[in-house]
Structure 1
Amino acid sequence: MADRESARSRVIGQKVLRPREQVEERIRSTILSGELKSGDILPPEVELARQFDVSRTTLREALRSLTTQGLIYKIPGSRGGNFVQSVDHRSLGSVVIDSVHNLLKLGSIEFAEVAEVRQHLEVPAVRLAAANRSAEDLELLRDIVRRQKRASVDDPEVPKLDEQFHSLIAQASGNRVLHSFVAALHHETEPVHYLDLSPEVGRATVRQHKAIVDAIADRDPDAAEAAIIEHLTYLRKHIAVHVSR
Structure 2
Amino acid sequence: MPIEYEDVVRTGVAKQVADKIRVAILDGRLKIDERLPTEEELARSFGISRPTVREALKRLAAQNLIRSQRGPTGGTFVKRPDPEGLSSAITGAATLLVGVGAFDIDEIIGARLETEAICCRLACERRSENDLAGMRAEIALQRSASLSDEDFCASDVRFHRALVTAAGNGPLSLMMYTVVEAFMPITNMIVFRVRERNRVATFHQRLADSIEARDSVAATAALSELLAYVRESYAGSLKRRAEREAAQQRG
TM-score, normalized by length of structure 1? 0.71
> Residue 99 of structure 1 corresponds to which residue in structure 2?
93
Of 110, 114, 131, 2:103 maps to 110
1: CA distance, partners of 2:22 / 2:90: 22
Correspondence for 1:220 among 205, 209, 215: 215
Shift of 1:97: 0.5
What is the match of residue 199 of structure 2? Answer: 204
- Say which SS state the counterpart of residue 148 (structure 2) adopts: coil
> Post-superposition shift, 1:99?
2.1
Give 1:59 deviation, angstroms.
Answer: 3.1
Aligned residues: 218
Task: List structure 1 segments (4+ residues) > 6 angstroms apart after TM superposition.
Answer: 82-85
In the TM superposition, 1:59-74 aligns within 5 A as 59=53, 62-63=56-57, 66=60, 70-72=63-65
Residue 50 of structure 1 and its aligned partner are, at CA, apart by 4.6
* 1:237 alignment counterpart: 232
Q: Is the 1:126–1:173 contact (alpha carbons within 8 Å) kept by the matching residues of 2?
A: yes
Residue of structure 2 in register with 1:164 after alignment: 158
Q: Which moves more between the two structures, 147-156 or 226-235?
A: 147-156
More RCO (CA 8 Å, sep 6+):
1
Whichever residue aligns with residue 24 of structure 2, its letter is S
* DSSP-derived class of the 1:139 partner: helix
Residue in 2 aligned with 1:5? none
Task: Check 1:163–1:23 CA distance in 2 against 1; reply closer, same or farther (3 A cut).
Answer: closer
Change (3 A) 1:56 1:170: same
Secondary structure of the 2:150 match is: coil
For 2:7, the equivalent position in structure 1 comes to 18
Provide, for residues 24-44 of structure 1, a one-character-per-residue CA deviation record: whole Å limited to 9, x for no partner.
43465357554438xx9x788
TM-score (norm 2): 0.69
* 1:71/1:84 contact within 8 Å kept: no
Select 2:24's aligned residue among 25, 29, 41. 29
The alpha-carbon distance between structure 1 residues 94 and 196, as it changes in their structure 2 partners (threshold 3 A), is closer
* 1:94-141 deviations in Å (ceiling 9; x for gaps): 232122123334x37225234432232111111111111111111111
For the residue of structure 1 that corresponds to 2:132, the secondary structure is: helix
Equivalent residue number for residue 78 of structure 1 = none
Instruction: Summarize the Cα distance change of 1:137–1:24 in structure 2 as closer, same or farther, 3 Å threshold.
Output: same
CA contact (8 A) 2:5 2:46 kept: no
